[in-house]
Amino acid sequence: LKGDAMKKVLLFSVFVLIFCFMTGCGDKEQKTSSEDIFLKVSELYKNFRLAYERRDKQKAEMYLMELLKRQTEFENHDDPRVKLLYYLANQRMGILQYMSEKYSQSIPYFKKALQYNLDDVDAADYDQDDILNEKLIAQIGLASTYDKLGDSEKRDSYLNLAEKRIKLLESREERYSEYILEHFFFYYTVKSQILQSAGKHQDALNALLKLKELFKYETTNVDSLYPAVVQSFGKYYYRRHEYKEALKYFKEVFDMFVNNHEFPLASYFYIVKIYLLDKAYSEALFLSEKALKTAKQKSGFFSDKKSEALLLFGIGKIYDAMNEKEKADHYKTLAGNLYSPQALEDWWSYQE
């Protein structure tokens, strides 16, 4: 899917941060010191932002890590905006680790972010409501991480903290704004996965139904997270091996994006997996050819070389299942010319 809640939240307020870095405060001696700090940090954040926008996660993490190396030196500075900076830096590093599925490594960053007392931050620099919403992301991330690590006590503790904030946001008039909806998406998808892992399938489904209700004004907006909401239902049924029901949701997402001239990689993956299980090879090929045809008609259909390679690799897998080795090898070779063959194989072998 195009972007996700975690990716959008990661970039939230970067421009506010840059503004914050370039301003001073306090008496003259303190102001000079603050300006020196802001100048150093703003350059690192500029590099971090550019690397992330280029989808170069390795360099983005490197610049963020360089900033965090200076944490001990700078975080106790009298200027509350310096504490704000390191709160945000830790929160974002936690997100990066979480997105990379390095769940254990995300824990200390999320926990460090939650430890900061930012009551003295001026609202002109960063709204207290936004700070609490950023902390909400850390709480949800920790709940999800501890669930994956099998620590139910800590999982429930952080999920309960997150729920209190979610209930407050649900009572507000701005609950249907894009920014708040992103938080709802992360919370309810994580909650649903936790409940489903615990065997509470109806409760897990109810969490997704609640999420869908919150997105009721976004059902025609492909640029929103609504397609991800629909896909969450597909994943729910896929994990339950109810493939016919899952297919319905994945196809809805696939059509949404293809009609918008974008390649829906995740839904394509699940649809083909299901078709191969059912030995519905002609349906799988028809779907793939539809994507290829759209790609030829519209430039920018693929977000990157990896997406294009995975479509070609998927077609190769379909021909593999049909025992048509020559055609399978042809498409796999085309895919391998665009992206690492081993990485493609690893991705295709992934099972949720």
Q: One digit per residue, pLDDT tens: the chain, 352 residues?
A: 444 444 444 444 433 333 333 333 344 444 446 667 767 766 777 787 788 788 788 888 888 888 888 777 766 666 677 777 788 888 889 988 988 889 999 999 999 999 888 887 777 667 888 888 889 999 999 999 999 999 999 999 999 999 999 999 999 999 999 989 999 999 999 999 999 999 999 999 999 999 999 999 998 888 889 999 999 999 999 999 999 999 999 999 999 999 888 999 999 999 999 999 999 999 999 999 999 888 888 888 888 888 999 999 999 999 999 999 999 999 999 999 999 999 999 888 875 5
| Cα–Cα distance measured from residue 14 to residue 10, given in angstroms and rounded to the nearest whole number | 9
Tokens 């004004």 locate to 217
Tell me the three state secondary structure of residue 127: coil
pTM of the model as a whole: 0.81
Is the four-CA dihedral 181, 183, 184, 185 of positive or negative sign? Answer: positive
Residue 141's CB is within 10 A of a number of other CB atoms, namely 27
| Cα–Cα distance measured from residue 245 to residue 241, given in angstroms and rounded to the nearest whole number | 9
**In angstroms, how far apart are the furthest CA atoms of the chain?**
76
Q: Which two tokens stand for residue 134?
A: 């950023």
**Which residues have CB under 8 Å from 26's CB, separation 6+?**
34, 78, 79
| Cα–Cα distance measured from residue 33 to residue 137, given in angstroms and rounded to the nearest whole number | 32
Q: What angle do CA 322, 326, 331 make, to 5 degrees?
A: 85
Q: Exposed, middle or buried: residue 231 (CB in 10 Å: 0-12, 13-18, 19+)?
A: buried
**Which residues have CB under 8 Å from 256's CB, separation 6+?**
222, 227, 230, 264
